[in-house]
Structure 1
């Protein structure tokens, strides 16, 4: 069996010392950047991590937010939503998670020195929309028009949402197989995302569902992105499924973007195993170039209580289980079988904690 490689991007939200949620209404770029400035920089990371043009993404930690430019194209600031952690690329799920845990603990210890504590959320607990202030200038509007469809039309949505990008690649995989795997994951996304649901709150209240993040985001934004090395396999779709690699380390990557966030990184291990099994699977027929918005909203509202979601989740999990039968990552699927049998998601635990508080 050809080896896989794994990497994680995990967005961390924060509370201020006084209990306010730290977001674009009360936190400046400089407030978070002082934390990042104290974190280490590793020269060898340039082989693994794309740095971008603005200089914000130099480290494993960087400010995630909305970049603002002057009319002449100079970067003015980045309106912050949190701090993102990126891991380097690893040959095992365990090694990727080990680095994530180490980076996460270092971030929390440094942030605490400035009065910040982590907020385990997948959607902003207070704000319901982000509107750039001041309005976009001519340069920014022109720049936005040249971006991908989701960056052009829905760039405000990520300012409210928090979640991981779970990336995997398989050396030697053809561009055709990469696009096929990404379209399979896109098709089954509404049925596997409930394993991660953790955003049952909206505008300070209990939302009548399990994932407001999924309801608001997936469909308008990608569930999966893949970076095939052959440009002939780049597809035109809205939202985007395929993208030209911007860094050598992105070549061959399949990036799943639809899961809710979790501070229990063992859940990420289970979800990684599920994705790996689905990539290896040769039995499932479903394929989609763009995520089905309606199916994601049904899943976001009802989770595994919906008969269709429940049935297709079983199909996907069994297919992954069979594909990983002789793989050491096979045992990582056990928590997902338990969740599905009980029709439970992490959101159910959050709601019970809220009611009993």
Structure 2
């Protein structure tokens, strides 16, 4: 089997020293940047990580938010929602998680010096809407009009959501195969995202479902984003499925973007193994260019209690299990089998904790 490579981006939200959730209503870019400034920078990371045009993404840690520009196109600020951690690229799942844990601990320790503590959430616990203030100027409107459908139409949604991008690639995979895998993961996304559900709260109250993040986001935003090296394989879709690599390390990458966030990084190991198994699987027939918003919302409300979600989740998990039968990562799937058998997601535990508090 040709080697795989893995990477992860994990968004971290925070509570302030006064106990309030830190977001665009009460926290400035500079408040978070002082934390990032004190964290280390590794010269070798340039081989793995894209720095971007604005210079904000210089380190393994950077402020995630909504960039604002002046009328003549100069970057004014980035309205913050949290701090994102990026790992370098690893040949194995455990190496990614080890680096993520180390980077997370460095971030938490440094943030603590400034009165911030991590908030394990997948959706803003208080706010239900982000509206740019002041309104977008002519330059910003034109810039977004010429950018991706997500930047043009739904850039406000990620200001409320938190979650990981799980990235993987396999050496030697053609651009055609990369796009095919991305469309396969997009099709089966509604049936695997419940394994991560952890946002059963909305506007400070218990929501009627298990993942308000999925309900609000997936469909309007991509479930998967792929970076085929061959530009002839780029597709036009809304939301975006394929994108030209912006850094050599992105070429061939497949990012799964629809999982909720997890404070338990071992769950990411299981989800990585699931994605790896689905890359190797050659039995599942479903393909979709854009995520099915309705199916994601059904899953968000009912999880594995929905008969269709439950049925397809078993089908997908068995396919991944079979594809990984001779692979050491096979054992990482065990927590997902346990979850599916009990029809419980992480959101169920969060609800129980809330009701017992």
TM range (shorter): over 0.9
State the Cα distance separating 1:304 from its structure 2 match.
0.1
- Equivalent residues in 2 for 1:102-251 (5 A)? 102-251=102-251
Output the TM-score relative to the length of structure 1. 1.00
State the Cα distance separating 1:17 from its structure 2 match.
1.1
- Structure-2 residue corresponding to 1:35: 35
Output the TM-score relative to the length of structure 2. 1.00
CA distance in 2 between partners of 1:103 and 1:311 (Å): 38
CA distance in 2 between partners of 1:265 and 1:120 (Å): 12
Mind listing any 5+ residue stretches in structure 2 that lack a counterpart? none
CA distance in 2 between partners of 1:145 and 1:246 (Å): 20
- Structure-1 residue corresponding to 2:51: 51
CA distance in 2 between partners of 1:224 and 1:151 (Å): 16
State the Cα distance separating 1:212 from its structure 2 match.
0.1
- Structure-2 residue corresponding to 1:76: 76
State the Cα distance separating 1:7 from its structure 2 match.
0.2
- Structure-2 residue corresponding to 1:334: 334
Please give the per-residue CA displacement for 1:291-346, whole angstroms capped at 9, x wherever unaligned. Answer: 00000000000000000000000000000000000000000000000000000000
- Structure-2 residue corresponding to 1:294: 294
Q: Which segments of structure 1 move beyond 2 Å, counting only runs of 4 or more? A: none
State the Cα distance separating 1:167 from its structure 2 match.
0.1
State the Cα distance separating 1:150 from its structure 2 match.
1.4
- Structure-1 residue corresponding to 2:257: 257
State the Cα distance separating 1:263 from its structure 2 match.
1.0
State the Cα distance separating 1:18 from its structure 2 match.
1.4
CA distance in 2 between partners of 1:146 and 1:78 (Å): 20
Q: 3-state DSSP class of the match of 2:34? A: helix
Q: CA RMSD in A?
A: 0.3
State the Cα distance separating 1:179 from its structure 2 match.
0.5
Q: 3-state DSSP class of the match of 2:178? A: helix
State the Cα distance separating 1:354 from its structure 2 match.
0.1
- Structure-2 residue corresponding to 1:12: 12
CA distance in 2 between partners of 1:96 and 1:146 (Å): 35
- Structure-2 residue corresponding to 1:273: 273
CA distance in 2 between partners of 1:319 and 1:146 (Å): 40
State the Cα distance separating 1:27 from its structure 2 match.
0.1
